[in-house]
Amino acid sequence: MTISQTPVIAKAHTNIALVKYWGKADEHLILPTNDSISMTLDHFYTTTSVQFDAQLAADDIILDGIKLPTDGQQRIRQFMDLVRQRAHTDLFAHIETSNHVPTTAGLASSASGFAALAGAAAKAAGLNLTRRELSQLARRGSGSATRSIFGGFVQWHAGHDDESSFAEPLDEKVDWPIRMIAIVVSQDEKKIGSRHGMKQSQTSPFFNDWVKQANADIDPLRTALLKKDINRVGSIAEHNAMCMHATTLSATPPFTYFNGDTIKAMQLINDLRSLGLNCYYTMDAGPNVKVICLADEVDAILDHLRPAFGNDQLVVAKPGPGLTYL
């Protein structure tokens, strides 16, 4: 194991879950309550450079050109400690990370961030990890990062321990024209982050039913993806997202990520569907809506959304690649 003498730069794309991860069976190891399946997106990614340096007394972390204050660094430092432990080193590192998300997209995500950091830090530390091992490592930073190691459609196997919880590509080179339109209804910082929100949702009396439903959605979704059946893919993903969000409304105390524009977007998609277009919505831990559809219907969908949302609020994404080194 040799520590790299030059900076290692990794690039990872964000992903949107079609069957969601929403609940932890183990908070320390970040083991999820259920399997999840996502699509990695081409448009949104993070690049991260890591170099270990014997002169440093602590990790030096720069995020989008700004040095992170000490209290903002804890999650990254804890993650770097894991890498140091595995590489048997006590060296600290220069870490520089940039998020390439269209400034208006409001889709900045810990998924691409921790996937890129896992890739760059492991390689810089001289660890020679397989992609499965990288997905296990990224998981320790943020659950959704587990899936961002791979491109296309990806399944995260929940597992029951550190070893058995990892992601696996289902179809890395997606050869059919599935698209996701992000409707950016708000760029505000989320009030309840995903980590806190999923924990609070575990107080819902429906939480166990959510887990059952999510696990039951996995095989049908895999089949629908294999068959390239947009209507099955979309309807499973939409129903799954609504089941996830039902656990927020029924939590103690209750909360929701939706705002008025979220509901408006959902209604517009429903209208489009009754007009015969094949489009479905999904939402994560925030008010923005992602529309699952096919390339040849993107323009008609955008036309219908435009009176309500500006051009800068509508971003079209394709399936994207997994972790790469620059």
Q: Are the C-beta atoms of residues 32 and 202 closer than 8 Å to each other?
A: no
Within 8 A by CB and 6+ apart from 324, the residues are 10, 11
Cα 200–chain centre separation: 19
Provide the minimum distance between the beta carbon of 135 and ligand DP6 in the complex, in angstroms, as a whole number: 13
Residues 265-294 that bind ligand DP6 (CB under 6 A): 284-285
Binding part of the chain for ligand DP6, among 81-89, 141-149, 161-169, 175-183 by CB under 6 A, reads 141-149
Provide the minimum distance between the beta carbon of 194 and ligand DP6 in the complex, in angstroms, as a whole number: 4
> Is residue 36 involved in binding ligand DP6 (CB under 6 A)?
yes
Q: Are the C-beta atoms of residues 272 and 296 closer than 8 Å to each other?
A: no
Which of 8, 9, 12, 20 contacts ligand DP6 by CB under 6 A? Answer: 20
> Is residue 143 involved in binding ligand DP6 (CB under 6 A)?
yes
First-to-last alpha carbon distance for the chain, in angstroms, is 21
Q: State how far the Cα of 323 lies from the Cα of 326, in Å rounded to an integer.
A: 10
Which two structure tokens, joined as six digits, stand for 188?
């505000």
Provide the minimum distance between the beta carbon of 91 and ligand DP6 in the complex, in angstroms, as a whole number: 26
Which two structure tokens, joined as six digits, stand for 96?
């520089």
Binding part of the chain for ligand DP6, among 20-28, 56-64, 177-185, 308-316 by CB under 6 A, reads 20-28
Q: State how far the Cα of 283 lies from the Cα of 18, in Å rounded to an integer.
A: 10
Q: What is the DSSP letter of 264?
A: H
> Is residue 30 involved in binding ligand DP6 (CB under 6 A)?
yes
Q: Are the C-beta atoms of residues 269 and 292 closer than 8 Å to each other?
A: no
Binding part of the chain for ligand DP6, among 13-21, 128-136, 173-181, 289-297 by CB under 6 A, reads 13-21
Which of 12, 17, 134, 178 contacts ligand DP6 by CB under 6 A? Answer: 17
Binding part of the chain for ligand DP6, among 14-22, 160-168, 247-255, 260-268 by CB under 6 A, reads 14-22
Q: Are the C-beta atoms of residues 222 and 326 closer than 8 Å to each other?
A: no
Where does this chain bind ligand DP6 (CB under 6 A)?
17, 20-22, 30, 36, 110, 142-144, 194-195, 284-285
